[in-house]
Chain A
Amino acid sequence: MDFIAQNMAPIMFVGLVVFLLLGYPVAFALAANGIFFGLLGIHLGLLQPSLFQALPERLWGVMSNDTLLAVPFFTFMGLILERSGMAEDLLDTIGQLFGPVRGGLAFAVIFVGALLAATTGVVAASVISMGLISLPIMLRYGYDRRFATGVIAASGTLAQIIPPSLVLIIMADQLGRSVGDMYAGAFIPGIALAGLYAVYAGAVALFKPQWSPALPLEARRLREPGGSSGTPSVFVVVVLATIAAVLFDRFYYVPHYPDAALDERLVLAAGAGGGFALASAIVNKVFRLGLLSRLAEQVVFVLIPPLALIFLVLGTIFLGWATPTEGGAMGATGALVMALARGRLSMRLTRQAMDTTAKLSTFVVFILVGARVFSLSFYGVNGHVWVEHLLTNLPGGQLGFLIVVNILVFLLAFFLDFFELSFIVVPLIGPVADKLGIDLIWFGVLLGVNMQTSFMHPPFGFALFYLRSVAPTHEYVDKLTGNRMAPVTTGQIYWGAIPFVIIQVLMVGLLIAFPQMSLVYKSDQPTIDIDKVKIEIPADEPARAGEQEDLMKQLGQPQGAPGKPAEEPKKSPEEEQQDDLMKQLQKK
């Protein structure tokens, strides 16, 4: 008994692993673990008998946490979007644009993957679309199967790290930082990652030209009547739109609003440039001016819907018009309107999307509920102190900690998905990182890039799984060429993912070496609109404060585990958030 009392935290942790591995739903195993060890702790006199009185207050905290609304909003948006046909149009046209270059289809997939990633926060949609639209074309013209499947799976997972990713929202919530900062911190790493994919695709095109041939002439549909490609016209439009954007910024916006923040100017200038391109394409089409090539016209038309969605979601967040949660709702509404306009929105589809969204958000929130029940007991027996001792005693200080934690998360990502990792693991390691002086935005982005691998790890990675479900499993006859085509084997999909998992690890290393990539968020600190805080605080504070008080009561009792006297209670992520909000309020 004494042994158990002395080592309650480690025993509880091992118990958790056993409970989870039993294969019963994670949410209930977590909560049951918390209650079981809570009762044991009360029995051994380690915890107050009134421990569980704090439970309803904790659950109330989960209910009133409106950051979590982002989960249903972004899921719903993704589900509507994946049936709206937007991704298909994009892939088709951008494939035509880049196709004539060697490796062009791969670049198109990466580009569209990044673009879709910036519109939505979930992975499934883009992988399936690319698997359906781009993969058959790549196979038809002789792309290497491993390379083709790898590039598709990896580009699909960009949705995890490029804002408005759901991972980043949850990470911000769990680490007690603002979602806006997390987005700003993830921006450069996300783009850099897409860039690394493109570098790899470029290297393949250069050194293994037979892996990624250019599209032959007959496959280029959007040619001019005369037979020319129409590509120069695309460049002209891009250059003109850029000039329009710069002119708008220099001669209209800045003179009128001299103290506008940089991201505000960027968003609006991009809007002006896009508007210019759209207007010229429309004028060209309506009046049949023939000034733009068919290709250029088509490119402009397919790019407008995703750019409009990006504006709705990210633009409104960076302009301070909407909170990240509301950005999700705006995006979902935008996706609905778009699907409706394209005649793709049926009653059946809407019901399906709501059904899936309801079930998915229920299981996600219940993992959090379970985690909160677990942490009530785990913090009660000073589990956080135990974890902290374990991790702060690593050799190498910050660097040692980062390396160990990243290896740990990389390995866990084979078995756990990112919701489980963020709700169970992140609250344990976040406070330690903070104590070691690690910037939590940087840390969150780092973990985000790392967890992205959980989608690509053979054999459980979801992106591979989605791709497998749409890649041909039997020999088939290509409709266009009439050739017999071999199926794509599961082995090819697995092998194809490996170079990209390596790139991912490389990116984690780069991000550890160059934290500046994430820390840029600090430079535009004042631009994070306080609007959000102003509204959220009154709604949020009483509940959280109450919850906090209850927790403090529990922790404050002089009943800490023997040998570990009740030290100053560690800041839990919620408290941190509290502090954070307070700071922002005071700044005002």
Chain B
Amino acid sequence: MQALLALSRLIDRMNEHIGRAVYWLVLAAVLLSAGNAIVRKIFSVSSNAYLEAQWYLFSAVFLLCAGYTLLRNEHVRIDILVGKLSAKAQAWVDIFGTVLFLLPMATLIMWLSWSYFVRAYTQNEISGSAGGLTIWPARLLLPVGFALLVLQGISELVKRVAFVTGRGPDPIVRHDPAEAERALAEEIRKIAEGKA
């Protein structure tokens, strides 16, 4: 168990770092998209490469952050029923869901998309549109993203098993969404007071 928990901590750290690095691509995509629109209007220059680069960037964000989002327990749930259960029972739901839902589906997609990537790579496919980008880097995001998701799934599983067997703390990050809002409110209040 200790070895598994160490592995889980390693995975958590990795996805945490990846998430924090990858979210910068949000800003990159915003600036690229706005820049492209402005340049196109003013100088009448544009290329499909810019348009494709935007969704390459965004695909990198949501695929590479899939594990990070799971780590932060931010994938939405319909918890009207489960929310009322005890922490232990919720951990059991997650164990059940991870083993039966998440791991099989993510593994299947990872496996299928790997050959999908290999095909694009070996044939060096280029997007069909004029000035299009090479396809394989974007295709590679699929298996990598789902692999990160599988790893995070394993880590979450380990943490929950440790919890229900009494060998670890309650791992479920409980969001009090009101908390984030209160933090924001505090900030706005400070700004407002600073001005007054």
Contacts and interface: CB of A to CB of B under 8 A. Distances in A.
Interface in A321-343: 321-323, 325-326, 328-330, 332-333, 336
Contact of B34 (A326, A358, A468): A326
B55 A83 contact: no
A94 interface: no
B161 interface: no
Contact of A82 (B130, B132, B184): B184
A528 to B, nearest CB: 17
A59 B22 contact: no
B30 A76 contact: yes
Contacts of A289: none
Contacts of B26: 72, 76, 354, 357-358, 361
Q: Which of A24, A85, A322 has the most CB of B within 10 A?
A: A24
A420 interface: yes
Contact of B178 (A82, A465, A538): A465
Interface string A341-381: 00010000011001101111111011100000100000000
Contacts of B24: 354
Nearest to A466: B181
A25 B51 contact: no
Interface in B1-51: 19-20, 22-24, 26-27, 29-34, 36-38, 41, 46, 48, 51
B72 interface: yes
Given A60-B139, A69-B58, A22 B19 contact: no
Given A333-B31, A354-B23, A535 B83 contact: no
A23 B82 contact: yes
A53 interface: yes
A402 interface: no
Nearest to A124: B181
Given A20-B78, A358-B65, A128 B51 contact: no
Given A25-B76, A350-B27, A539 B132 contact: yes
Contacts of A32: 100-102, 104-105
A132 B59 contact: no
Contacts of B80: 21, 415, 460
Contacts of A417: 76
Contact of B75 (A27, A88, A124, A355): A27
A254 interface: no
Nearest to A52: B112
Nearest to A131: B185
Interface string B174-196: 00011001101101110110010
Interface residues of B, number: 81
Contacts of A19: 101
Given A25-B77, A128-B181, A128-B184, A63 B55 contact: yes
Task: Sort chain A's interface into a size bin.
Answer: 35 or more
Interface in B91-146: 93-94, 96-97, 100-102, 104-106, 108-109, 112-113, 116, 127-130, 132, 138-139, 141-142
Contacts, number: 251
Interface in A61-92: 63-66, 68-69, 72-73, 76, 82-83, 85, 88
Interface of A: 19-29, 31-32, 35, 52-53, 55-57, 59-60, 63-66, 68-69, 72-73, 76, 82-83, 85, 88, 124, 128-129, 131-133, 316, 321-323, 325-326, 328-330, 332-333, 336, 344, 350-351, 354-355, 357-363, 365-367, 373, 415-417, 419-420, 460, 465-466, 468-470, 535-536, 538-539, 541-542
22 contacts: A21-B81, A28-B97, A28-B102, A28-B106, A32-B105, A35-B105, A53-B112, A57-B116, A59-B142, A63-B59, A85-B191, A88-B188, A129-B188, A132-B185, A329-B37, A333-B31, A359-B19, A359-B72, A360-B74, A363-B69, A363-B76, A415-B78
Interface of B: 19-20, 22-24, 26-27, 29-34, 36-38, 41, 46, 48, 51-52, 54-55, 58-59, 61-63, 65-66, 68-70, 72, 74-83, 90, 93-94, 96-97, 100-102, 104-106, 108-109, 112-113, 116, 127-130, 132, 138-139, 141-142, 177-178, 181-182, 184-185, 187-189, 191-192, 195
Given A31-B109, A35-B104, A535-B46, 17 more contacts: A23-B79, A23-B93, A28-B97, A55-B108, A64-B55, A69-B54, A83-B184, A132-B188, A326-B37, A332-B34, A333-B34, A354-B24, A357-B23, A466-B181, A538-B128, A539-B132, A541-B129
